[in-house]
Amino acid sequence: MSEMIATRDGFGKELVEIGRENDKVVVVSADLEDATRAEYFKNEFPDRFFSCGIAEQDMVGTAAGLAFHGFIPFINSFAVFMTNRAYDQLRLDLCYNDRNVKVICSHAGVTVGEDGASAQCLEDFALMRVLPNIKVVCPVDEMEARKATRIFTREYGPMYMRTSRAPFPVLTKADDTFEIGKANMLRDGADVTLIGCGLLVQESLDAAELLKKDGIDARVINMHTIKPIDQDAIVKAAEETGAIVVGEEHQMYGGLCSAVAEVVVRTVPVPMEFVAVNDTFGQSGTPQQLMEHYGLKASNIADAAKKAIARKSQVVSGS
Amino acid sequence: MNTNIEELREKAKLFRREILETIHAAGSGHPGGSLSAVEILISLYDYKMKHKPDDPQWDGRDYLIVSKGHVTPAVYVTLANYGYFSKDELPKFRKFGSILQGHVHVKVPGVEFNTGSLGHGLSVANGIAIGNKMLKNDSNVYCLMGDGEIQEGSVWEAAMHASHRELDNVCAIVDYNKVQENGPTNDIKNLEPLADKWRSFGWEVKEVIGHNFKQLIQALDDFEKNKGKPYVILAHTIKGKGVSFMEGERNWHGKAPNADQLKEALAELV
């Protein structure tokens, strides 16, 4: 069993270390820095921390202004309040103005758990992905969250990171390669490719084990970057395995499932299945109960893989 | 730093003519709120703001965020007249391939920030002002807002923030022309008592006639002396100012004059 750490902790701790090295890094907040772990930065660098109170729109605009002077503002909130409440500011102030502001959001997906649907953001990838200029990342574990935070600091432009409240299994090591826009294959296979982000990567690995028992050899890809999507890895998977299952803790529409499908249909069309929340809101419950209820578990991925593989033989002929 | 009021008045007439010509050439645009903001912009660029047209990104400059991003005709005519770019560009306003985008855009030398969705500018101005204080930079930040615009709740998020941080390097200017797209501002959603609202949010408030250079200049001077809190100028203006058939008319919020209307308007601005 892997060690379990919430990815928000990786972000929070790394940002403090970065703050010691780079005095241009600042944090602008909307009263959820305790939950996002930006609080660690606040505690060490109170002079570089600015709370806007509960005012997400003001947070985004203020950060866009601070970026004028070469500061690198990290703004943070729950994914739902950031991406839904302040969407117009994210679109215009950050993306249209191409400001060097980093957007860090925790509390996405059904694993937010007991707080229920209002806090369980299931549309952040979709909302962010359609905006020009921004990059969208979902670290698979605490280690990737740390690496992403460093890259966010180093590279110019608006960037979005979804972090988790729930503990995620630590799947990667300090010396593993992590590059925005480059997927990591965690397990090779020939019969089907399971592409996931966040918690669905571990579920995909577990699904690969289930499939192995049925004699199916599954490839597993950690697609930590939703935008820009790694086209090469997807095309290769389609060519080499002939079927793809995409899993994400997000609505089935508009997020990673869609991003992968957009590549597949234009390159190597192969059967695909999606494991995601199917056009409904979440509810209160434990993360595990909700993952099961919404069909986001390894068994769901394995079933989806079999369906996709079964459709490989279907030949679609044009007239 | 020009205080020759007669010269400034002549400039205002010229700017109004060019604003109308620019909108006419484009076939669309926003004359009402452009004409109301002319003296405000001249007072800033001719008198108060530190700026270098030949070096728009000069570190020591003051900043203007145009939060009412639709008044591009006024902003672009102003910038062209102060030498930020050639007046030859003005007839290309809103045309494909032109730097002169329909709403304020940083492609235009002298523009600091893209706007066009109302209620954004004051937060951005605050952010720049916070940065100035961190860097001990004595530049000021001005934010031009519409009166209808301040119906947006985000303006009040920003207003609360500026006073909380005692941002005395922020000067908001409300072009209070009393008319918005669909009618009189105070019929659609009453702003009054507007000065009291800003005061209660912790701002120093100055009310002026927004077409009176003496009053505008005095207010801008007072802003620089003001310490410990942000400063707002409520500039009482007339929408469509200077053209009799446009004044106070909501129909001229976002419509271009045709050739006859342009001729008639220009005749009033000599």
The tens-digit pLDDT sequence of chain A (319 residues) is 689 999 999 999 999 999 999 999 999 999 999 999 999 999 999 999 999 999 999 999 999 999 999 999 999 999 999 999 999 999 999 999 999 999 999 999 999 999 999 999 999 999 999 999 999 999 999 999 999 999 999 999 999 999 999 999 999 999 999 999 999 999 999 999 999 999 999 999 999 999 999 999 999 999 999 999 999 999 999 999 999 999 999 999 999 999 999 999 999 999 999 999 999 999 999 999 999 999 999 999 999 999 999 999 875 555 4
Mutate which of A26, A29, A45, A58 to disrupt the B interface (most B C-beta within 10 Å)?
Answer: A58
Shared-domain flag, residues A162 and A250? no
Are B157 and A67 in contact (CB < 8 Å)? no
For B195-253, the pLDDT digits (tens) are 999 999 999 999 999 999 999 999 999 999 999 999 999 999 999 999 999 999 999 99
pLDDT of residue B154: 98
pLDDT value at residue A37? 98
Domain-terminating residue out of A169, A200, A221: A169
Virtual CA dihedral for A183, A184, A186, A187, nearest 10 degrees?
Answer: 60
Q: What's the N-to-C CA distance of chain A in angstroms?
A: 53
**C-alpha triplet A300, A304, A306: angle, nearest 5°:** 120
* A191 and A301 fall within a common domain: yes
Instruction: Say yes or no for a CB contact (<8 Å) between A65 and B114.
Output: no
Neighbours of A118 (CB within 10 A): 12
**Are A99 and A41 contained in the same domain?**
yes
pLDDT of A314 reads 78
Q: Please tell me the predicted confidence (pLDDT) of residue B1.
A: 64
Q: How far is B158 from chain A (nearest CA, A)?
A: 6
Same domain, A214 and A263: yes
**May I ask the CATH architecture of the domain B5-268?**
3-Layer(aba) Sandwich (3.40)
Indicate the SS3 state at residue A159: strand
Residues A158, A36, single domain; the answer is yes
For residue A177, tell me if it sits in a domain: no
Tally of structural domains, chain A: 2
What is the per-residue pLDDT across B28-69, written as a single tens digit (0 to 9) for each?
A: 999 999 999 999 999 999 999 999 999 999 999 999 999 999
Residue B76's pLDDT is what? 98
- Residues A96, A164 within the same domain: yes
**Candidates A62, A66, A88; nearest CB to B161:** A62
Cβ burial of A54 (10 Å; 0-12, 13-18, 19+) is: middle
A299: three-class secondary structure by DSSP = helix
Q: What's the one-letter identity of residue A308?
A: A
A110 occurs within a structural domain: yes
User: pLDDT at position A319, please?
Assistant: 45
Q: Are A226 and A293 members of one domain?
A: yes
Could you tell me if residue A176 is inside a domain?
Answer: no
Q: Does this model's pTM top 0.95?
A: yes
Active site residue A155: no
Residue A312 contacts residue A270 (beta carbons within 8 Å) = yes
Q: Domain for residue A22, yes or no?
A: yes
Alpha carbon distance A88, A136 (integer Å): 17
The verdict on residue A301 lying in a domain is: yes
Same domain, A129 and A30: yes
| Residue B163 distance to chain A (closest CA, Å) | 12
Closest CA to B194 of B252, B155, B164, B161: B155
In a domain, A178, yes or no: no
User: Does A191 lie in the same domain as A71?
Assistant: no
B chain contacts of residue A87, beta-carbon cutoff 8 Å: none
Catalytic residue among A14, A33, A39, A56: A56
Examine the pLDDT at B2 and tell me if it is beyond 90. Answer: no
Shared domain for A224 and A124, answered yes or no, is no
Same domain, A251 and A156: no
**Could you say which of A103, A134, A169 is where a domain stops?**
A169
Chosen domain end from A169, A202, A226:
A169
CATH of the domain at A44: 3.40.50.970
How far A74 CA lies from chain B's nearest CA (Å)? 13
ipTM over 0.85: yes
**Which residue in B115, B121, B127 is closest to A66 by CB distance?**
B127
Taking a C-beta distance cutoff of 8 angstroms, is the pair A220, A208 a contact?
yes
Task: Tell me which residue range forms the domain holding A8.
Answer: 4-169
Residue A315 belongs to a domain: no
* Per-residue pLDDT at A315: 55
Rounded to a whole number, what is the distance in Å from the CA of B125 to chain A's nearest CA? 6
Q: Look at residue A313 in the predicted model and tell me its pLDDT.
A: 81
Among A26, A56, A59, A62, which would you mutate to test the B interface (most chain B Cβ atoms within 10 Å of its Cβ)? A62
Mean pLDDT of B139-160: 98
Which residues of B fall within a CB distance of 8 Å from A60?
123
B57-115: per-residue pLDDT in tens? 999 999 999 999 999 999 999 999 999 999 999 999 999 999 999 999 999 999 999 99
A47 and A78 co-located in one domain = yes
Which one of B124, B153, B164 has the shortest CB-CB distance to A65? B124
